């Protein structure tokens, strides 16, 4: 009988830590900017979001406030993690083909290590984000207790989708390019540069993206000091559970063919 995936991963957790650290080291080795790269992508997203907010503020006849910038940054940082996590995880099996074909490891370790390394970047980016929130005088409330749950769901979603796509990439190299295209345009259907309330009756359609309720939940709890919409949070949680089950089932089904195909 094959070992349970979670038990197998726990038994190889040292390897997971090692591969995660290896990915971080490779990324920043001989890099002049170092960990500043961790905030570069969020900064680009914030810049785009500020332009959108400035346009909205101009139409409504009010100035652009630092609170608007903080609101965009609060979504930009986790969104940057989503994009980079999926991008690197989806190519992790192909990128580690030398290890995959020579030694036995739980194959799930490779996409999870990729997500883990991007999680470090996410943690680094939260430092200037926290400073910006403080500068914007965003207060602290009890609603912050929701933040760990929202982040956890986001991480699990990225890990599940990255694991699923990594398996697909072994058999179809086109997956890598499809992922790049989808991630490029996904920001336009995800409430990063804007709030879903700006879209009236189209709001529900945008919230069907399982990442959207989590980003809106962060905005609600951190900026507005009220709880996330529980119905949409439950929906996102249900999609997350389904994604994990689907990813594990398909991954284990395809795993025996990885070494001979890659």
The structural domains of the chain, with segments of one domain joined by +, span 5-261
The sign of the CA dihedral 235, 241, 244, 16 is positive
H or E element that contains 140: none
d(CA 122, CA 85): 10
3-state SS, residue 159:
helix
Residue 131: both structure tokens together: 């400073």
Cβ contacts of residue 198 below 8 Å, gap of 6+? Answer: 56
Confidence of residue 34 (pLDDT cuts 50, 70, 90): low
d(CA 41, CA 78): 11
Give pLDDT tens digits for 88-122: 999 999 888 888 777 777 889 999 999 999 999 99
Report whether 42 contacts 76 (CB < 8 A).
yes
pTM for the model stands at 0.91
Give CA 191 to chain center in angstroms.
14
> Cα–Cα–Cα angle for 179, 75, 154, nearest 5°?
60
CA distance 208 to 205: 5
203-231 pLDDT, tens digit each: 999 999 999 999 999 999 999 999 999 99
| Closest of 82, 92, 103, 80 to residue 168, by C-alpha | 92
- Looking up tokens 């058999």, which residue turns up? 171
Please give the distance of CA 39 from its chain centroid, rounded to a whole number: 14
């Amino acid at each position: 009988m094959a070992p349970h995936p979670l038990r197998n991963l726990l038994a190889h957790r040292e390897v997971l830590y090692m591969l995660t650290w290896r990915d971080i080291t490779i990324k920043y080795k001989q890099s002049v900017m170092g960990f500043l790269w961790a905030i570069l992508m969020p900064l680009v997203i914030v810049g785009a979001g500020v332009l959108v907010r400035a346009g909205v503020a101009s139409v409504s006849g009010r100035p652009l406030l630092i609170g608007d910038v903080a609101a965009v940054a609060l979504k930009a940082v986790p969104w940057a993690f989503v994009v980079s996590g999926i991008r690197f995880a989806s190519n992790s099996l192909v990128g580690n083909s030398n290890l995959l074909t020579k030694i036995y490891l739980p194959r799930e370790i490779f996409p999870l290590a990729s997500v883990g390394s991007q999680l470090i970047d996410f943690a680094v980016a939260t430092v200037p984000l926290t400073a910006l929130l403080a500068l914007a005088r965003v207060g602290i409330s009890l609603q912050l207790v929701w933040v760990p749950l929202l982040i956890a769901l986001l991480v699990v979603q990225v890990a599940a989708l990255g694991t699923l796509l990594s398996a697909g990439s072994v058999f179809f190299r086109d997956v890598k390019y499809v992922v790049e295209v989808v991630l490029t345009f996904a920001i336009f259907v995800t409430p990063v540069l804007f709030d879903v309330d700006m879209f009236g009756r189209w709001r529900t359609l945008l919230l069907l993206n399982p990442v959207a309720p989590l980003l809106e939940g962060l905005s609600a709890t951190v900026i507005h000091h009220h709880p996330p919409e529980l119905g949409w949070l439950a929906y996102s949680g249900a999609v997350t559970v389904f994604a994990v089950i689907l990813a594990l089932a398909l991954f284990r089904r395809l795993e025996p063919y990885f070494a001979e195909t890659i």
